[in-house]
Amino acid sequence: MKRLESRIAGLLTASRWLMAPLYLGLIAALVVVGVAFFEELARTVVGVPTLNVEGVILSVLKLIDLVLIANLVLIMISAGIGSLGSVAQGVEHAEWSEFMGKVDFSGLKLKVVVSLVAIAAVDLLEDFVEIDTTNKTDLMWRIGILVAFVVTGVLLAWMDRLAEDHE
């Protein structure tokens, strides 16, 4: 029976490698976001002479939005380092950020929610810059989604705090 338990535990532990192709896909997605960023940057630079102040603001907000999305993808890739067990014991990785391979689930979910809040806020700001042409129903939905993300983040942080207090 112990042998069967050991094999099942080994199989369950090895199953984490099924996530590896998904993390590689996220790397490809990061490249796609990078390409989109530079395309938008080129459009902005070429179009500067014809842009008014609102156009410049919108262009910069689109660039910021793409950077925030890239950061969200990078957070998930970094979390994959820890879940795949790539962090060798006692081996220094000088090129890694301090959090890479060390993101716990609590920290990961808060980073994701904060990223989503920032992305939703930038999208909402784009709508406010173009308020005259923005569909008001869509605007209300975006506000509701932003509020939902903020409330979710606050509740997750509060639950983590309660869990820490009980430990």
Q: What is the reported pLDDT for 16?
A: 83
In a domain, residue 136? The reply is yes
Distance CA 82, CA 98 (A): 12
In a domain, residue 53? The reply is yes
Q: What is the pLDDT of residues 112-139, one digit of tens each?
A: 888 999 999 998 998 888 888 889 999 9
The pTM assigned to this predicted structure is: 0.75
Q: At what angle do helices 105-129 and 53-83 cross, to 10 degrees?
A: 170
Residue 93 pLDDT exceeds 70 = no
* One domain, residues 12 and 71: yes
Does 133 or 31 have the greater pLDDT score? 31
* One domain, residues 81 and 108: no
Residue 64 pLDDT exceeds 60 = yes
pLDDT averaged over every residue in the chain: 85
Q: Residue 45: count other Cβ atoms within 10 Å of its Cβ.
A: 9
Confidence band of 90 (pLDDT split at 50, 70, 90): very low
* One domain, residues 70 and 117: no
* One domain, residues 50 and 15: yes
How many domains does one find in the chain?
2
* One domain, residues 110 and 82: no
Q: What is the reported pLDDT for 43?
A: 94
Boundaries of domain holding 139: 104-167
Q: At what angle do helices 136-166 and 105-129 cross, to 10 degrees?
A: 160
Q: At what angle do helices 53-83 and 20-47 cross, to 10 degrees?
A: 160
* One domain, residues 111 and 143: yes
* One domain, residues 4 and 82: yes
* One domain, residues 21 and 64: yes
* One domain, residues 72 and 132: no
* One domain, residues 47 and 72: yes
Residue 26 pLDDT exceeds 90 = yes
